[in-house]
Structure 1
Amino acid sequence: MGIDKLLAFAFWYPVLMSFLWLAGGVYYYLRRERGKPRRDQPPAFADAPLVSILVPCHNEADNIEETIAALLAQRYPRFEIVAINDGSQDDTGALLDALAARHPQVRAIHLDRNLGKANALRMGTLAARAEYLVCIDGDALLDEYACHWLVWHLCSGPRVGAVTGNPRIRNRSTLLGKLQVGEFSSIIGMIKRAQRGYGRLFTISGVVSAFRKTALHHVGYWADDMVTEDIDISWRLQMEHWDIRYEPNALAWILMPETLRGLWRQRLRWARGGAEVLLRHGAGLFTWRRRRMWGVLAEYLLSVLWAMTMLWIIVTWVVGMFTPMPPHWELGGLMPGWHGVVLALVCLLQFAVSLLIDRRYEPRIGRYYYWMIWYPAAYWLLSLMTTLAAVPLTLFKRRGQLAVWTSPDRGYR
């Protein structure tokens, strides 16, 4: 195999996947979103069940009051708030106790040391009074109708094990922030729509999701040794044939990194999470009963293969600068030609379609289309590097090591 075949794969893989996401996302929109009641008109409940809202916290003193205030403003008629203080070293615990004293719907659980988000969620689940759980991060703001939309799905069928919501970026003051607005719409939102249409989701959004407690008990709750507990629980639920749904009306406003260091740490964690679930659960997918997960597995393996291919191409180009290469391995340069233009146009088409769909949730989101011209260069390179770094880090990780909290970069507000 020569360099021309590697170049062909490096070019055609993102083009074909972009069209796959576009087709699936548009299909989902036409079938499940268009004509659906708007965000502030959720379906009515004949008898609304009690819902427990779980808020795992670690050093969230700067955000927790704002987060709890947004939860107390929920339009859903019956809910409790269970805030789990997981070994915080700031004033999070005191603030939660004060909130619980003022609001009877709020309960605070204090854990004496940092054991990680998965453990905090498990403790919150055991303390929850409800069968239906809504889980949200301690720095996120849940839309006032989000609980209603999430619980409606859980009530719609006994096999619905989880529902993932629609995270929206709060902090947009830098180029990285603006790029992430488009990314969550054009990449993450579009992929979730497409995967839901094709049958299985790679992951729920850990920042805003809902679960059936029975389903969690069935699969053994969250794993406390996985760096991304949301990816792991998504795979295990679907491997046991629980359905996971996507609800774009369930909005949550989140803080994201706006520094290169913070972004690198976040995306490396995501990449390591994908590698971990592949190593732990990949072999268990090769049965006919779990065939609906094959698409998710194939897409992930192809993305890793693409990263390896790009690395090989770059190494070949660098080596060729210093030593003669065989004719079938000669590479003229890395500057994009006509194929780079085609790839950029396909990428911009995906951004345009997804932003048009997302105008339903943010009417002025189209103004971020201008900034998306920088996305391929910035984020594809970041994805390439984090994927390559995640594989060895995952392979050499000490087995059974707890995935404890680390305070992330939350950008500028």
Structure 2
Amino acid sequence: MRYGEATVTVVDPRSYMTYQPFLPEVAAGSISPRHVVVPLRRVLPKAEVLTGRVTSIDQDRKVAVVTPLVGEAYELPFDYLVIALGAVSRTFPIPGLAEQGIGMKGVEEGIGLRNHVLEQLDKAESTTDENVRRKALTFVFVGGGFAGAETIGEVEDMARDAAKYYSSIKREDMRFILVDAADKILPEVGPKLGTWGKEHLESRGIEIYLNTSMDSCVDGHVVLKNGLEVDSNTIVWTAGVKPNPVLARYGLPLGPRGHVDASPTLQVTGTDYIWAAGDNAQVPDVAARKAGVENAWCPPNAQHALRQAKVLGDNVISGMRGFPQTEYSHSNKGAVAGLGLHKGVAMIVMGKMKIKLKGRLAWYMHRGYHGMAMPTWNRKIRVFADWTLGMFLKREVVSLGALESPREEFYEAAKPAPAPAATQAPAQKAKAS
């Protein structure tokens, strides 16, 4: 846009963007958490960035109500609106899940999972109670898609390395369980690679239960639909995503699953000044429909979101200037997944040909693709530097669980001490008299 032509305002509850495909490697300690987030004010220097939440939208008056981190809510007028809230974890009303579950949608959860797993090893090493030890060394992961398979693969790899530093813990003492309601894992890479991925994880001692689900996990007591019951301190929930539920408050047309209903030009149905893209948008997959797939929609992944963003930006400017809108069309280029250090699966689509890779070569493809897709050269270089150092230095196995409550130790040192018994005696005597 020309200088001064418009003001672009970004409203987000966080002041950074998280590159989510790297969260499993954050949980495993292969990448520093700071290197998978991009500060918005740094990469959007010409935009106005507001840290807060849009709680409602008045389409008639063209104002959005913003609730900041502190202070009262206020109205923000707009001429053009872009809805890109992404997705949140898809959960079910399972008893105990809210209290015990750990998600994998944000960098905070990746850091928390890593610290939590290492803390469980500390607990198991330090206790003489066999039940406490068994519960600490049992790790349950629910969801066998990319997020679940990659996370359990990376975390198992890290725990295997960390166990070398504990005198009383071996890999055989740990129990890793992967649960999925479907009949296969890694459906994104096809049945053959999915089967190989399952067999590979099982060869590493990971138990995989398909066609089943979790009924409850109250106080860490996990009950599966197939009758299996285990006690675990670690329950990781990666059973899919759903559009951000706040969309229901905006008065926008929504699809059957809660996505914003958008046309192939990414304009919200029935409007000419609102666009939507990414995981919160229901966008027709034009390329798939041309190939004969009926009712095909763009899947919620980075491959589509990154490309939709470019088309959306052009269409917003076209809408401002009265030019025609461009339809978004992208043919699937395949999928890559890492299952731990030097292990992965990849399906590369080249025209009508599909190239399927597994093992170390697929792992290189996974790192290469996502490393180059990481926004900004600053973060690309830092991520590749982490990987390079990891080739020569041992993996860090330090738990920083105190990060979750950093003031606790200071509070214990600074809180008022109770009055000595000697100073209380006169008062007690006076009261008695």
TM bin, normalised by shorter chain, reads under 0.3
TM-score by length of 1: 0.25
User: Comparing both chains, which one has the higher relative contact order based on Cα–Cα distances under 8 Å and sequence gaps of 6 or more?
Assistant: 1
- Give the number of the structure whose alpha-carbon radius of gyration is greater: 2
Q: Which is richer in strand?
A: 2
TM-score by length of 2: 0.24
Q: Which is richer in helix?
A: 1
